[in-house]
Amino acid sequence: MLHNDNLEQWDRENFFHASTHLAEFARGNIPQRVIKTASGVHIEDRDGNRMLDAFAGLYCVNVGYGRPEIAEAIADQAKELAYYHSYVGHGTEASITLAKMVMDRAPDHMSKVYFGQSGSDANETNIKLIWYYNNILGRPKKKKIISRWRGYHGSGLMTGSLTGLDLFHKKFDLPLAQVIHTEAPFYFQRKDLGQSESEFVAHCVAELEAMIHAEGADTIAAFIGEPVLGTGGIVPPPAGYWPAIQEVLDRHDILLVADEVVTGFGRLGTMFGSDHYGMRPDLITIAKGLTSAYAPLSGSIVSDKMWAVLEKGTDENGPIGHGWTYSAHPIGAAAGVANLELIDKLGLVENAGTVGTYLNTQMRAALTDHPHVGDVRGEGMLCAVEFVADKDSRSFYDAADKIGPQIAGKLLEQSNVIARAMPQGDILGFAPPFCLTKDEADQVVTATHQAVASVL
């Protein structure tokens, strides 16, 4: 059944693809790509084309593909206990073990982890916990959430609102009223302000302060941000950004949610991005790297400070009214345990740091001087190349030129390397599995250089 010759036809007739131009797909202008097998950093489609996946799926297959240790842990768990829920004190050996492993790795001031399925539902959980927290503290007005333009936090109703990208709002009646957006720390795109990097940090902080002043600190519950902006363009923050933001939030008693769906479990070369940037979050969102996407599982890590209030809340109101059927799913948890063990055993966090730095250095060396490359930036195993129409005036291409997608297309066509054309702007993103070798990094850089040369 799975090997049927009619797959392509069935695909067009039945399958509603995520984040896809539906009409162009129906017209046959978007290639169908049926991925069949994968190993290490390579995936293969059913026509036998082998591709180097320099975006690790959707920056999630952190340990690389085809790891038997994780596959076997999943199979063993499915045979022993495919499912039991986590309501009313129930757990499984896998979910309790994984909770212990996550908390052993989390910053010291964190208390417990709640498991969900996806990054989106983990952020939905976070916002509910924040509202619950302020209700228990008798602050019913303190509910608004500040997010950043270009932040990405999911595509649910609340999380799609937190996301600061037009595409995810347009025609969906989002963002919801409780969400407000502030300046992103995207220094390269705001060089028009004529500020030094530290002046730009001061500008972002001043914007935040002004927003808090205008709205009233007693109406603002939390600030959410990715340590490094991901889907919004792979943008490491300018030096000093997070400590300065943290100081403002602390002063106004506003909680910080570190959305570490991309950065959690090693992508920056440290276990968490919060460690890397000196953030002190009240909640940490985890997903992708928790299981390296071998099974869907996410989590909300809750601080000691919030936990004390949540416990008090249940004394006053009864059991917490929040749960998914698949919270702490044992198969996901078994995948998570095997994944975190493998990361330790193979030293993959260190590898993400060293090979990631190598990839960034080589990419910078190869492309910085190109007349249409405006910026090459990254941190750990995250790297981005941003294209400009004119370097001196730093003017951008028209969106209709589709420079990012064109270059990603060439990269695949010429060299079988997968990078991601980021959804807003002409930005090519790289987020390879942590097991990438220096030779493979060189291959990615050479291929990118050739693709850029053939388009621009």
Q: Contact residues for ligand PLP (CB under 6 A)? A: 58, 118-120, 123, 152-154, 226, 230-231, 259, 261-262, 287
CA 29 remoteness from chain centre: 28
Please, are residues 159 and 153 in contact by the beta-carbon 8 Å criterion?
yes
Task: Name which of 339 and 415 has its Cβ closer to ligand PLP.
Answer: 339
Phi-psi region of 390 (alpha: psi -120 to 50; beta: other; left: phi over 0): beta
Q: Which is nearer to ligand PLP, 63 or 136 (CB)?
A: 63
Question: Whole-number minimum distance, CB 234 to ligand PLP, in Å?
Answer: 11
Residue 51's H or E segment, with its range, is strand 50-53
**Strand order across the 50-53 sheet:** 35-39, 42-45, 50-53, 417-418
CB nearer to ligand PLP: pick between 167 and 365: 167
CA distances from 39 to 53, 377, 433, 443 (A): 10, 28, 11, 17
Other Cβ atoms closer than 10 A to 141: 11
Shortest spacing between CB 123 and ligand PLP, in angstroms: 6
CA 33 – CA 13 distance, rounded (Å): 15
Encoded amino acid at 92, one letter: T
Smallest distance from ligand PLP to CB 263, Å: 8
The nearer residue to ligand PLP, 64 or 151, going by C-beta atoms, is 151
Other Cβ atoms within 10 Å of 400 Cβ, number: 5
CB closer to ligand PLP, 53 vs 259: 259
Q: Are 222 and 146 in contact (CB under 8 A)?
A: yes
Q: How far is the CB of 142 from ligand PLP (least distance, A)?
A: 23
What is the greatest pairwise CA distance in the chain?
65
| DSSP track, 142-202 | --EEEEETT----SSHHHHHHS--GGGTTTTT-S-TTEEEE----TGGGGGG---HHHHHH
We find the least distance from the C-beta atom of residue 118 to ligand PLP, in angstroms, to be 3
Q: In terms of CB distance, is 286 or 447 closer to ligand PLP? A: 286
Structure tokens at 7: 């797959």
Q: Least distance from C-beta 230 to ligand PLP, angstroms?
A: 5
Closest-CA residue to 336 (of 284, 381, 298):
298
The residue number with the shortest CB distance to ligand PLP is 119
Is 119 or 353 the residue whose CB approaches ligand PLP more closely?
119
C-beta of 316: minimal distance to ligand PLP in Å? 31
The nearest distance, CB 305 to ligand PLP, in angstroms, is: 23
Q: How far is the CB of 300 from ligand PLP (least distance, A)?
A: 12
**CA 58 to the chain's CA centroid:** 8
3-state secondary structure of 9: helix
CB distance 260 to 272 below 8 Å = yes
Looking at the Cβ atoms of 175 and 374, the one nearer to ligand PLP is: 175
Would you say 77 or 291 has its CB closer to ligand PLP? 291
Nearer to ligand PLP (CB atom), residue 259 or residue 426: 259
Q: Minimum CB separation from ligand PLP for residue 293, in Å?
A: 9
* Collapsed DSSP state (helix, strand, coil) of residue 284: strand
Label the pairing between strands 427-430 and 35-39: unpaired
